[in-house]
Amino acid sequence: MTDITQKQPKSPAVKSTSFFERSMWIFNTLFHQLVAVAGIFILWTLFYNYENRLSRWHMILTATAYLPLMAEAIVLFAGDNVWTQNIKRTTKYYIHGAFMFTSAVLATVGIGFMISVHSAPHFHSIHAWTGLVSWIFVLLSQFLGVASAKAYHLKSILRPVWFKFAHNLFGLLGYLFGLTSLCYGLRKRTFRENTTYESQVATTVVIAVVGAWSIIAALRSGYNQLKNVIT
């Protein structure tokens, strides 16, 4: 006869979610919405008033490089990033690399298009200079990303944490200079003549919010890497 008093196995404990964690998920979801809103508005404006010119493709390609590709690549490793929480970290590395590589290619081609159509001296405006600096940092971060992935084999040259810290630093600088260049690009004639001043200001504010939110986790990671570097 079965002993009904026998203890039943305990169910695994369910981890409770704090108010802070739920709030961060909500803010992260809003971040993705803002990326979509800013990106779609910029690209919709460019395609709606489309002219088959290289200068127009410069704007389309560079805007796509930073919104959404680079923005999503930067925030991908954040613990509160809602769409990557159940993805293995090794898989995240591949996704991050694919996003960053694609954005670097788009930015390179976009800058090349603008150089080819300008007969005047190049890089004479804040928009152009910040874009050039961003492109340099983004390319450096690409090489350092590969070095970070192979850091164990390069440990005789530098400690692995140095490669990771440099990759993080140059990636963030490239991203922030790129967003700055994008905001100055909203003042250019092609975009300015097809939008209102209020929409330009609103888009700039949205881009600033997107940039600020997306770098939080990367700054935290960089701080931890810096501590490991100096200890």
Chain centre to alpha carbon of residue 97? 11
6: its two tokens: 């026998």
Task: Give the fold, CATH level 3, of 43-230.
Answer: Four Helix Bundle (Hemerythrin (Met), subunit A) (1.20.120)
If you average pLDDT over residues 80-107, what whole number do you get?
93
Query: What does residue 216 show for φ and ψ, rounded to 5 degrees?
Result: -60, -55
pLDDT tens readout for residues 116-173: 887 667 778 999 999 999 999 999 999 999 998 887 777 778 888 898 999 999 999 9
Q: DSSP string spanning 118-162?
A: --SPSS-SHHHHHHHHHHHHHHHHHHHHHHHHTGGGGTTTS-HHH
Distance (Å, whole) CA 24 – CA 69 = 21
Single-letter amino acid code for the residue at 177: F
Q: What are the start-end ranges of the E strands in 30-155?
A: none
Residue 27, CB half-sphere, CA atoms under 13 Å: how many?
Answer: 16
Question: In 3-state terms, what secondary structure has residue 8?
Answer: coil
Read off the pLDDT band of 1 (50, 70, 90). Answer: very low
- The predicted model scores a pTM of 0.88
Residue 55 has pLDDT above 80, yes or no: yes
| Category of 123 on φ-ψ map: left (φ > 0), alpha (ψ -120 to 50) or beta | left
Distance (Å, whole) CA 39 – CA 200 = 13
Sign of CA dihedral 84, 227, 20, 173: negative
Cα angle 133-222-136, degrees, rounded to a multiple of 5: 15
Distance (Å, whole) CA 58 – CA 66 = 13
Residue 11 has pLDDT above 70, yes or no: no
Q: Where are the domains of the chain?
A: 43-230
Mean pLDDT, the chain, integer: 89
Nearest residue to 107 via CA among 147, 51, 163, 67: 67
In order of 34, 117, 172, 183, the CA distances from 41 in angstroms are 10, 25, 24, 13
More confident residue, 227 or 107: 107
